[in-house]
Amino acid sequence: MPSPEDAAARESTPHIDQQDTPDGACCLVLGSWTAGELTVQPAWVALAAQLKGLAAENGALWDLRQLDQLDHLGAQVLWNHWGRQWPDKLEVLPQQRTVLDRVAQFSIERPEPPAPGLRQAFFSLGDGVLQVVDHGADLLALVGRLMLNLVKLARRPREGPWRDLSGHLYHIGATALPITALVGFLIGVVLAYLISQQLRQFGADAFIVNILGISLIRELGPVLAAILIAGRSGSAITAQIGVMRVTEELDAMRVMGIAHSYRLVMPRAIALAIVMPLISVWTTISALFGGMLAADLVMGVTPSFFIDALPAAVDAANLTLATAKSVVFGVLIALIGCHFGLRVKPNTESLGQGTTASVVTSITVVILVDALFAVLFKGVGT
């Protein structure tokens, strides 16, 4: 036999008793339909299951007159179960009718999301174009401020952020040498093995020097180094400036009258403009070394022949073009990293999104600019 406490809890728990009367089915609503009772997990689970079982009860009489309590949350539960319309048969007290009327008056049905179509695709395209224009305008303004800061540095070199510049030269350049050398060496080995399989069919073993020299010095060396630096240092630049936004250091700099572009953007841009050509040459040399060893093992092309034939196979203009491209790549990576870092909002979610967008955009821009260089300077070094 249940105790008096259990009986009292049963009476206050919101539930519905189904009864069969001479006039038809009757749903007797009992208990306390209040926020305090409905937010209890076991009571809500049991009530939700009971309401689901009553979904097919059409034309039943709903009797709320024996309810202990009814607030707006309980009325909303009943209103939603009724399909946001009054049942055909309803017995309520005047106070309960007032609560139900208020819920029915202010209950707003959520509109269904629009089905994807041509209109939504057009709006999405327009939103994407506006975002690209917004980013482009900010980048253009960043480039303009960089030019003005370079003029200021040339006029007053003693006031320049040289300590910051030296730190960036070390962290971006010196610490990147091992990984770029390893990746370049492996790329050279892979290319040499793939090229050797094709050249063997025509007995043109000696031309492996020409193919490796042109592809690595002119294209793959600078692009590979730029992609590695974009993923390694570009993300670090965005994260560093983004953390300064989160910790309100950027706001403190603005209050102190310190220009972000002069102390944050310019040292990183100069450092990458200096470092990228050196890393590009370093990566290219590592790739050529790997290709030379692989050519010796696979095709019998000796290192001495490889070194002697390389200057005749590759014109010096290719090295000049590669160096110029590397400088452009370095400046672009620095500007994009700083751009997304300065746009970070003061929360960790925006920091992660900005870092990801910075890396993706940097790599994409590097490839696009490399394609532009290939088209514009197709007659150089050939």
216, 291 contact by CB (below 8 A): yes
Its pTM stands at 0.69
79 and 139 part of one domain: no
68 and 137 part of one domain: no
pLDDT value for 224: 93
Across the range 102-119, mean pLDDT stands at 68
Across the range 205-215, mean pLDDT stands at 85
Last-in-domain residue among 57, 89, 106: 106
Last-in-domain residue among 55, 71, 106: 106
* Least confident window among 47-51, 110-114, 318-322, 330-334: 110-114
Domain count within the chain: 2
DSSP 113: P
d(CA 277, CA 274): 7
* Domain residue limits at 199: 131-376
236 and 175 part of one domain: yes
164 and 266 part of one domain: yes
The per-residue pLDDT for range 124-166, each reduced to its tens digit, is: 888 888 988 988 898 899 999 999 999 999 999 888 889 989 9
**Does residue 343 sit within a domain?**
yes
261 and 330 part of one domain: yes
Last-in-domain residue among 47, 71, 106: 106
91 and 143 part of one domain: no
pLDDT value for 2: 47
194 and 77 part of one domain: no
Instruction: Determine the 3-state secondary structure of 29 from DSSP.
Output: strand
167 and 251 part of one domain: yes
* Least confident window among 33-37, 227-231, 241-245: 33-37
The per-residue pLDDT for range 294-307, each reduced to its tens digit, is: 988 888 888 888 88
**Does residue 46 sit within a domain?**
yes
- CATH number of the CATH domain containing 38: 3.30.750
**Does residue 77 sit within a domain?**
yes
d(CA 261, CA 333): 15
**Does residue 164 sit within a domain?**
yes
**Does residue 126 sit within a domain?**
no
Percent of the chain with pLDDT over 70: 92
Across the range 11-18, mean pLDDT stands at 77
pLDDT value for 64: 81
Q: CA of 186: how far to CAs of 179, 192, 288, 363, in Å?
A: 11, 10, 10, 20
**Does residue 29 sit within a domain?**
yes
**Does residue 175 sit within a domain?**
yes
102 and 28 part of one domain: yes
**What six digits make up the tokens of 123?**
């709006």
**Does residue 111 sit within a domain?**
no
Beta bridge partners of 16: 29
71 and 148 part of one domain: no
298 and 366 part of one domain: yes
Question: DSSP assignment of 69-107, as one string?
Answer: EE-HHHHHHHHHHTTSS--SEEE--HHHHHHHHHHHHH-
pLDDT value for 4: 47
The per-residue pLDDT for range 168-200, each reduced to its tens digit, is: 999 998 999 999 999 999 999 999 988 888 887
DSSP 230: I
250 and 215 part of one domain: yes
d(CA 230, CA 96): 66
pLDDT value for 93: 85
